[in-house]
Amino acid sequence: MLKALIRDKAGLFGLIIVLAFLIWSLIQGILEILSVNLRKPYLGYLLLPHNPFKYDLSLAFHPPSQQFLLGTNAEGEDILSRILYALPRDAFVALIVVFSAIIIGGILGILSGYLGGIVDEVIMRITDAFLSLPALILVIAITVPLKATFFATILGLAVVWWPTYARFYRAQTLRIKNMDYISAAKLSEVSKLQLFYRYIFLNSIDPILAYVALDFGNVILTYSTLAFLGIGITPPIPELGEMAANGLSGLPQYWWWAVFPGLTILIIVIGFVLVGDRLQDIIAGRITY
Amino acid sequence: MSINIIFFIIRRIINAFVTLLLLIIIVFIMIHVIAPNPLALARLYTGPHATYSELEQVAKEYGLDKPLYVQIVNYIINVLHGNFGIDPVYKVPVIDLIGKYLPRTLELVIPATILSVIIGLVTGAIAASNRNNPIDYLVRGVYLVTWASPPFFVATILQLVIAYYLRLLPPTGTVNPTLSPPKSITPFPLVNAMITGNWPYFFSLLHHMVLPTVAIALVTFGIITRIARASMLDYMESDFARLSFMKGLSRRRVVYGVVLRNASIPLVTLIALLFGYSVAGAVVIEDVFQYHGMGYFITQAIEGLDYTSILGTTLIVGISIIIANLIADILYGILDPRVRIIE
């Protein structure tokens, strides 16, 4: 599968973006956690070109140059460093939200498809009710009473993100529940839990992979949009959406302040979309591997 | 109208109503998980600075100390009557504020949805009829980029290029503030200005609406392009398309006349989805253009952690999307008789 992905130009391009984003997030994320726990702030910006929190008004609104590749903001902080500092949180949110959605959606979808009848009807109606609203609006409704903190945002996203997966797993369960290998498993008295997990859940991972890649991008988009609206921010920690929102006050003279954080999100999401699209083609058999 | 279609419509309406009730119950449960006791509940209605006696009074007034099943029934009745509570900042019913801001957003979202469908269909048709050649790749590249950008980024770029650099349109605002507004006959400012013949105001409104509308359409059209392209490619292989070719119709007639018309029927159900995306996009895009609609209202509510308004907004947006879905479903059933039988 990986081979087919690399052989395609768009797929390779997407894969490079995604890997660069994930690897950077892992390294920088560990450094950020260490810097807080060991009380050594310099660890947090060991790999960054500048200290992202260095307040220096004499450097304010420095246009992109060799010293500051993406310019500086109103506080004289380096925008590139702030973007790089913000990335691990996006990766963290995307991972947690997508995985919790797979687990919640998987459990509900498999139960719904396997048991059928009234359970199916109730779960699917609830799923429809969640799907009837844009995720963004629902997450706002959940996070605001929880004081719009970072963890409230993750919780809100996790609460609204599962319905697509529930539908997927339900369809998948309906498709395979009468197959021979499931009957064989039932005859050999495999426990229900085993049946659900090993025989149905794990067997549905492959077709869902392409959607998961796309969905990482969706979570990052929604999360940055929430940050733009002022949700899930822990000052002074920079956030891509929040930087773009603040940057609006610098338009049009100091355009780099608002444009580069948005552009970063765009590039990352394109990476995930390209990988997801390619995986979809590969899984559907349109490209052989 | 056949009896078949009437049954179909009735079933759809019941379905929509059940979804609506569930949505209200989900919101209700969410509130009760967040605020487990009557005083905490009351605080959600009053805002964070209420005194103890104020809280008790609100708890009594809203029946927050009653058993859960009484509360849930009361809550559903209240919501269906449009009673979402009092906004703690403005001290007026939330429904009045939504009634003021929502029409302005609809004035953006409805034209944006139409524009988005047009752009989506045209680009989808162009891509499908030039399958796998540079034009196809260009269209797919463009929708990939717009689809993957955060709505605020598209809005910022439009504002920067068209308003600030080219100076074609105003960068921010809803209307020229020096003009006197027309009498409000309907909730829609644009309609009011038209009825009263206040043309300077009308054109100023239009002038400020263009950029946000285009921004919303740009963020959302990708999904239509994608699906129109796929569905047209399917139809190009179909017997009736082949027959049209054999009859000697030009390629252009077949693609834009026969195939596009048939391929756009399934897209009707997408329009409701698109409407939902557009509303969500509008919230953010309005913020960039400082357009005073629901986006402005929601941002204010987020800043003040004003839960009553957020909840009211969620329910109203939910209701309008459920209605949009219902209309799309019924239209689809009327346009494509097969749907009624499969159900």
Measured CA to CA in angstroms, residue A101 lies from A164, A226, B304 at distances of: 9, 18, 30
- A252/B23 Cβ within 8 A: no
The single residue listed with the structure tokens 């369960």 is: A173
- A140/B305 Cβ within 8 A: no
> Which residues, 6 or more positions from B215, have their beta carbon under 8 angstroms from its beta carbon?
B151, B154, B155, B158, B281, B285, B288, B289
Instruction: Please state, in angstroms and rounded to a whole number, the distance separating the CA atoms of residues A74 and A250.
Output: 8
- A259/B160 Cβ within 8 A: yes
- B26/A129 Cβ within 8 A: yes
Point out which residues pair with A78 in neighbouring strands.
A72
**What does the domain layout of chain B look like in residue ranges?**
3-80, 94-333
- A252/B287 Cβ within 8 A: no
In angstroms, the separation between the Cα of residue A139 and the nearest Cα of chain B is 10
Average the pLDDT over B105-128 and give the result. Answer: 91
Interface check for A206 against chain B (CB to CB < 8 A): the answer is: no
Token reading at A252: 């049009």
Assign B339 a pLDDT band (cuts: 50, 70, 90). Answer: low
Average the pLDDT over B176-184 and give the result. Answer: 80
Please tell me which residue, B184 or B199, carries the higher pLDDT value. B199
B-chain residues near A246 (CB < 8 A): none
Interface check for B320 against chain A (CB to CB < 8 A): the answer is: no
Interface probe with B: pick from A143, A144, A277, A280, most Cβ of B within 10 Å: A144
Answer whether residue B1 shows pLDDT above 60: no
> What average pLDDT does chain B have?
84
Which residue in chain B has the smallest CA separation from A223? B150
- B317/A137 Cβ within 8 A: yes
A-chain residues near B276 (CB < 8 A): 132-134
Q: Which of B26, B150, B325 lies closest to A265 in CB terms? A: B150
Interface check for A286 against chain B (CB to CB < 8 A): the answer is: no
The predicted pLDDT at position B260 comes to 80
A124, B230, B325, B71: CA torsion to nearest 10: 30
Instruction: Say if residues B155 and B215 touch (Cβ distance below 8 Å).
Output: yes
- B301/A225 Cβ within 8 A: no
Point out which residues pair with B93 in neighbouring strands.
B86
> Which residues, 6 or more positions from B269, have their beta carbon under 8 angstroms from its beta carbon?
B328, B329, B332
Listing DSSP states for A36-78 in one string gives: HHTT-GGGGGSSSSS-TT---GGGTTPPS-SSSTT-B-TT--B
- A145/B152 Cβ within 8 A: no
In angstroms, the separation between the Cα of residue B33 and the nearest Cα of chain A is 10
In angstroms, the separation between the Cα of residue B149 and the nearest Cα of chain A is 5
The predicted pLDDT at position A6 comes to 78
Q: Which of residues 116-175 of A touch B (CB under 8 A)?
A: 125-126, 128-130, 132-138, 140-142, 144-148
> Which residues, 6 or more positions from B283, have their beta carbon under 8 angstroms from its beta carbon?
A136, A137, A229, B294, B295, B298, B299
Sites in chain A below the pLDDT cut of 70: 1, 285-289
Q: Which of A129, A145, A269 lies closest to B22 in CB terms? A: A129
- Tens-place pLDDT, residues B273-290: 888 889 889 999 999 999
Interface check for B35 against chain A (CB to CB < 8 A): the answer is: yes
**What does the domain layout of chain A look like in residue ranges?**
16-24+77-284
pLDDT over 90 percentage in chain B: 17
Which residue in chain B has the smallest CA separation from A124? B19
Q: Which of residues 245-274 of A touch B (CB under 8 A)?
A: 245, 247-248, 251-252, 255, 258-259, 262-263, 265-266, 269-270, 273-274
CATH no. for A16-24+77-284: 1.10.3720.10
Instruction: Please state, in angstroms and rounded to a whole number, the distance separating the CA atoms of residues B192 and B258.
Output: 41
Q: How many residues does chain B have?
A: 343
The predicted pLDDT at position B343 comes to 43
Q: Model-level pTM greater than 0.80?
A: yes
Please tell me which residue, B30 or A242, carries the higher pLDDT value. A242
The predicted pLDDT at position B342 comes to 47
- A224/B23 Cβ within 8 A: no
- B305/A229 Cβ within 8 A: no
- Tens-place pLDDT, residues B59-93: 787 777 788 788 888 888 888 887 877 777 777 88
| CATH T-level assignment (fold) for domain B94-333 | MetI-like fold (1.10.3720)
- Neighbour count for residue A194 (Cβ, 10 Å): 11
Quote the DSSP letter at residue A116.
-
Interface check for A230 against chain B (CB to CB < 8 A): the answer is: yes
Q: Is the dihedral of CA B336, B338, B341, B343 positive or negative?
A: negative
Which residue in chain B has the smallest CA separation from A277? B144
The predicted pLDDT at position B341 comes to 57
Q: Which of residues 92-111 of B touch A (CB under 8 A)?
A: none
